[in-house]
Amino acid sequence: MWQSFDFPTDTLLPGQVVDELTKLYSNEKGTVDYSTGNFMLEMQKDGNLVLSAYRFSDPGYWYTGTLVTNVSLYFDPKTALMYLVNGSNVNIHALTKNISIPVEDYYHRATIDDHGNFQQYVYPKVNGRNWERVWRAVEEPCFVNSICGVYGFCTSPDNETVSCSCLPGYIPFDPNDLSKGCHPEIVLNYCADPSIRNFTVEVIDDADFPFEGYADLARVRNVDVEGCKKAVMDDCYTMAASLVDSRCIKKKTLNARKSVSTKGIKALIKVPMKINDPGILPEKKNSNDRVYLAVGFITSGVLAVLSAAFAVYYHPVARRLVKRKHFQNANAIGINFRQFTFQELHEATNGFSKTIGRGSSGKVYSGVLSSKDIHIEIAVKKLEKAIEKGEKEFVTELKIIGRTHHKNLVRLLGFCIEDGHQLLVYELMKNGALSDFLFGKEEKPIWIQRAEMALGIARGLLYLHEEYQTKTITNIRGTMGYMAPEWLRNAAVTAKVDIYSFGVMLLEIICARRHIELSRVEEETEDDDLVIIDWVLSCLISGKLEKLVGHDSEVLDDFKRFERMALVGLWCVHPDPILRPSMKKVTQMLEGTVEVGIPPLLMKG
């Protein structure tokens, strides 16, 4: 029997209900593209009805604030009003209050549209020509987060129409569809050398950058435009600022808007200066006539976030040094990262004395770069293993990393290639590695944190694989247990190796245990629980998946999502890369926007 009425997609009709954990998704683009879009309406478990730009790890831009358990959104067929009811069917929060009457003379619907707004419409049954809006959740369209994509600038002078463009210094990913967002025209690392002012600060009148919690770095009070400009220029971590009255609110991430309520506010943004001839650059002090360029495959890993950031995953690799007869400045060949000397990093890390991580390609050390009164905490990866790749590919990969911008990805600050040393310098994420957070001595993170972490990592990988439209292979971890079988049998390596590594990590996160438990080797047990893949597979085949979570009541209360994530994990770790899904499909399965299906591993034998 056809039951789509019980499972609305982007539209709600009279008589339909949005209950706990039910989600409505916008389509991609009006009547042109009906695939799943960027926005979601969700009735959360805590009773809060939330609109969010879920693909951007957005916590929400509109919500009801009804923090009561067992809440549902009801579209009343008799009154055509929408309201929230509690477990006793008592109206606790009204959405629509006025409606065209008599109700029976109109058709009614409520839709989450491709601009991220949830709106209710009526259509006269007699002589009807158009759907007329009677209510909307967001009164100012530009207040929908990421409506114009990352680094987008939303303009809505009448709070009805929406126009997308790029911020100064940015260019569109797709000139034919500006809502897909933008990327920097010139990539600069403002913290590489704070003494160099190779940028300007532009002012946009009557515009604002949304408040986004962790994206607001600091507030400078009692300043004018020039004072706010100086605050932006002097802070290498600040990308922009909003000047509201005399308060300069510094920002790290960028999505700007200009609408009715932003009148009188000034938006300030750093814009790199263009160099007419990038091959002619001033020489730096103490620069040698020769520099060594590493040759290798470099990628940044994935940072799963909850609030700001929980963990960093990265795996860079490079091959042995190639000596050049003539000096090539990194900026001259289009790499906008700081090129450190080995002595600088040796001093910054106090002689590489504090190890904070270790991988198959080398160790990671913490350190502090100091310049005048500015101190930047860094993580330095000292590479030990190398692979055969050309200088051109190394440069290309650095350019790719320089143009990746996603809130779930750790930032590469620079590199060093000197006298046999190969190092990469990253922004230090103070909350430590994901493995420490999951398997450390402290109490393990709760289920909702683990689920959001897994989704955050997936979205970061999706950005690298598809949204940025590169063939980047991140190789989340290069150690045994995470490596896809094709690495070991010297077969062709594609982006599907990342899918395998992510699958292992996903099972680790949801089960809160390592991929292999060596402590169980000596234990006598009937469970096939030494290797996490085998354990999950065994529990699914035997119909005892709950054994994976023990007595964790939070997971048991959300068991359908746990089961879905476990199935996605098994899809990812199939030994045949052809049968592994794409990262886009993986993300959609985790989000619940497409069916998971039965993993091929469960159908073997």
Express each pLDDT in 205-225 by its tens digit.
999 988 655 446 678 999 999
Given a contact cutoff of 8 angstroms between Cβ atoms, the answer to whether 17 and 49 are in contact is no
Alpha-carbon distance values, 98 to 64, 79, 187 (Å)? 18, 10, 51
What is the Cα–Cα distance from 247 to 595, expressed in whole angstroms? Answer: 48
535 with 512: CB under 8 angstroms? no
> Which tens digits make up the pLDDT trace of 360-417?
557 888 888 876 666 778 888 887 644 434 344 445 555 555 555 545 456 677 777 7
Q: Find how far residue 225's CA is from the centre of its chain.
A: 32
Give the pLDDT confidence score for residue 200 in this predicted structure.
92
Q: How far is CA 90 from the centre of its chain?
A: 38
Q: Write out residues in the chain with pLDDT < 50, as ranges.
A: 1-5, 214-215, 276-335, 385-394, 406, 408, 468-473, 475-478, 521-522, 605
243 and 129 Cβ atoms separated by less than 8 Å: no
Contact of 169 with 139, CB cutoff 8 Å = no
How far is 328 from 521, CA to CA, in rounded Å? 54
Model pTM? 0.53
HSE (side-chain half, CA atoms, 13 Å) at 540: 23
What pLDDT score was predicted for residue 115?
93
| Binding site, annotated residues | 382
Give, in order, the Cα–Cα distances in Å from 382 to each of 171, 298, 385, 392.
34, 13, 10, 22
Please name the fold of domain 167-272: Hepatocyte Growth Factor (3.50.4)
- Ranges for all domains in the chain classified under CATH 1.10.510.10: 434-603
What confidence score (pLDDT) does residue 112 get?
95
Token pair belonging to 19? 């209950």
Dihedral sign for Cα atoms in the order 471, 476, 479, 482? negative
| 409: DSSP letter | B
Question: Is the peptide bond between 575 and the residue preceding it cis, with omega within 30 degrees of 0?
Answer: no
pLDDT at position 356:
78
Q: Give the pLDDT score at 363.
A: 81
Q: What is the pLDDT of residue 212?
A: 56
Which residues make up the CATH 3.30.200.20 domain(s) of the chain?
Answer: 292-427
Strand pairing partners for 152?
A: 166
Binding site residue list for ATP: 382
Compute and round to an integer the Cα radius of gyration of the chain.
26
Nearest to 571, CA basis, from 548, 590, 558, 555: 590
The pLDDT of residue 78 is: 94
Which of 161, 167, 46, 57 lies closest to 115 in space, CA to CA?
Answer: 161
Tokens, residue 530 = 């030494």
Q: Where in the chain is the domain with CATH 3.50.4?
A: 167-272
- For 510-525, b/e burial (b = at least 16 CB within 10 A) is bbbbbbbeeeeeeeee
How many Cα atoms within 13 Å fall on the side-chain side of residue 378? Answer: 30
How many Cβ atoms from other residues are within 10 Å of residue 217's Cβ?
Answer: 15
For 286, the token pair is 């103490």
Fold (CATH) for 4-138: Agglutinin, subunit A (2.90.10)
Burial class (CB in 10 A: 0-12, 13-18, 19+), 286: exposed
Look up tokens 């303009």; give the residue.
Answer: 155
Residue 533's nearest CA partner among 511, 551, 561, 518 is: 511
Residue corresponding to tokens 């055969």: 388
Decide which of 1.10.510.10, 3.40.50.9100, 3.40.50.300, 3.50.50.60 is the CATH code for 434-603. Answer: 1.10.510.10
Tell me, what's the pLDDT at 486?
Answer: 72
**What residues form DSSP beta bridges with 107?**
123
Third-level CATH fold of 292-427 = Phosphorylase Kinase; domain 1 (3.30.200)
Q: Residue 31, class by beta-carbon neighbours within 10 Å (0-12 exposed, 13-18 middle, 19+ buried)?
A: exposed
Measured CA to CA, the distance from residue 505 to residue 499 in angstroms comes to 10
> Is 80 within 8 Å of 99 (Cβ atoms)?
yes
Contacts 24+ apart (CB under 8 A), 214-221: 214/252, 214/307, 214/308, 215/251, 215/252, 215/253, 216/249, 216/250, 216/251, 216/252, 217/250, 217/251, 217/252, 218/250, 219/247, 219/248, 219/249, 219/250, 220/247, 220/248, 220/250, 221/246, 221/247, 221/248
Running DSSP on this structure, what letter comes out for residue 130? S
CA gap 436, 451 in Å, rounded: 17
End-to-end, the C-alpha distance of the chain in Å comes to 32
How much is the pLDDT for 242? 93
Please report, as a single letter, which amino acid is at residue 362. Answer: G
Produce one character per residue of 302-338: b if its CB has 16 or more CB atoms within 10 Å, e if not.
bbbbbeebbbbbbbbbbbebeeeeeebbbbeeebbbb
Cβ atoms < 10 Å from Cβ of 490:
7
Sort 123 into a burial class: Cβ within 10 Å, 0-12 / 13-18 / 19+: middle
Collapsing DSSP to helix, strand or coil, 231 comes out as helix
- Is-contact 484 536, C-beta < 8 A? no
Rounded to whole angstroms, how far apart are CA atoms 386 and 404?
24
